[in-house]
């Protein structure tokens, strides 16, 4: 069982344009899509599409549009009633795959709801293989919320605690790294911000730069770094090695949720006992398949082509190897 927590879920609406976005103009959409969203929700949707047992935990009343959509999709979920409507997010996609997103802040959680959400997760976590803490934090939760939950999980369950994966950004991700999660999944921009690299493009253009940045995080206690690099694939760095995975170029239809699908692909391979390179291979295959689908649609395992993904072992200490 893989459990996800999405503290700031949303109803995601994607608007597809037939021409480039023209600011200040009136344009007609060629298609629209609406899905329950938020990183953890998307991960559960992808896992369920591949028949991998999962549970999405999120704040939200039973009659909220997000929870009703989860029920309609048959996604196992558990909501914490908060007496407030969840947010809506809008993504606008252009023919070349360029995506513009407008995200609402989400409802403010009270101090008691903060405590109740932590306890709800801990009650469900026993026996799970992974706990994924994913997405932005709503108003009312402290920036170290993910770190707090990770430490409390390990305090309560000890060696039996599920592995913890973090997929967030900014201050919540930086604080979470201090709790030494088993896996983090930044993109190039998030990895650059996390490690103080001024140019995120440098990470996408040179995988060795991304590996060196990720290696510092692993040396600091993070179990593994799965860094997605857009069209250039992804790198995986662990204490025992580093790998780059690339796939053939695709016609991107929407990048919304592609990173979430990548993490889902990694996790479903990891719980099946796959090697680190093969977990990375499936992560990239899942991300590529998601980007080729409309809106925030997630692919099932049979819709991915891991055999098309090339995985290459990389030096974990490139600077030393060049000496």
Question: How far is 267 from 264, CA to CA, in rounded Å?
Answer: 5
Residue 221, burial from CB neighbour count under 10 angstroms (0-12, 13-18, 19+)? exposed
Bridging pattern class, strands 130-134 and 163-167: parallel
Beta strands in 155-223 (DSSP E): 163-167, 183-184
Cα distances (angstroms) measured from residue 118 to each of 128, 129, 222, 273? 16, 18, 22, 29
3-state secondary structure of 237: strand
Q: What angle do CA 153, 12, 150 make, to 5 degrees?
A: 10
Under DSSP, the state recorded for 94 is -
The residue annotated as part of the active site, out of 64, 144, 260, 278, is 260
- On whether the CB atoms of residues 2 and 54 are closer than 8 A, the answer is yes
> 201 with 237: CB under 8 angstroms?
no
What's the CA gap between 80 and 95, in Å, rounded? 38
Kindly provide the b/e burial profile for residues 224-261, where b requires at least 16 CB atoms within 10 angstroms of the residue's own CB: bbbbbbbebbbbbbbeeebbbbbbeeeebbbbbbbbbb
182 is a catalytic site residue: no
Catalytic residues: 260
């Amino acid at each position: 069982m893989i459990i996800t927590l999405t503290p700031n879920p949303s109803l995601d609406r994607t608007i597809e344009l037939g021409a480039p976005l023209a600011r200040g103009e009136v344009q007609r959409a060629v298609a629209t899509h609406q899905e329950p969203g938020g990183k953890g929700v998307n991960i559960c949707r992808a896992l369920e599409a591949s028949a991998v047992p999962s549970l999405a935990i999120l704040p939200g009343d039973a009659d909220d549009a997000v929870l009703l959509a989860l029920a309609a999709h048959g996604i196992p979920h558990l909501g914490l009633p908060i007496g407030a409507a969840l947010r809506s997010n809008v993504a606008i996609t252009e023919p070349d795959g360029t995506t513009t997103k407008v995200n609402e802040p989400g409802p403010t959680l009270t101090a008691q709801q903060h405590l109740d959400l932590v306890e709800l997760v801990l009650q469900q976590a026993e026996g799970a293989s992974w706990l994924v803490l994913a997405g932005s934090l709503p108003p009312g939760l402290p920036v170290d919320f993910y770190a707090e939950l990770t430490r409390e999980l390990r305090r309560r369950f000890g060696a039996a605690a599920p592995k913890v994966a973090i997929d967030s950004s900014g201050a919540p991700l930086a604080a979470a790294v201090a709790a030494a999660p088993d896996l983090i999944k930044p993109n190039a921009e998030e990895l650059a911000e996390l490690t103080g690299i001024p140019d995120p493009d440098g990470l996408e253009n040179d995988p060795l730069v991304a590996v060196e940045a990720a290696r510092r995080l692993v040396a600091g206690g993070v179990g593994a770094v799965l860094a997605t690099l857009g069209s250039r694939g992804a790198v995986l760095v662990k204490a025992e090695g580093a790998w780059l995975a690339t796939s053939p170029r695709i016609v991107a239809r929407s990048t919304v949720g592609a990173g979430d699908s990548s993490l889902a692909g990694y996790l479903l391979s990891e719980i099946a006992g796959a090697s680190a390179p093969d977990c990375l291979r499936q992560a990239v295959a899942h991300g590529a398949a998601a980007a080729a689908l409309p809106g925030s649609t997630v692919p099932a395992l049979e819709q991915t082509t891991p055999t098309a993904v090339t995985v290459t072992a990389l030096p974990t200490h490139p600077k030393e190897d060049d000496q």
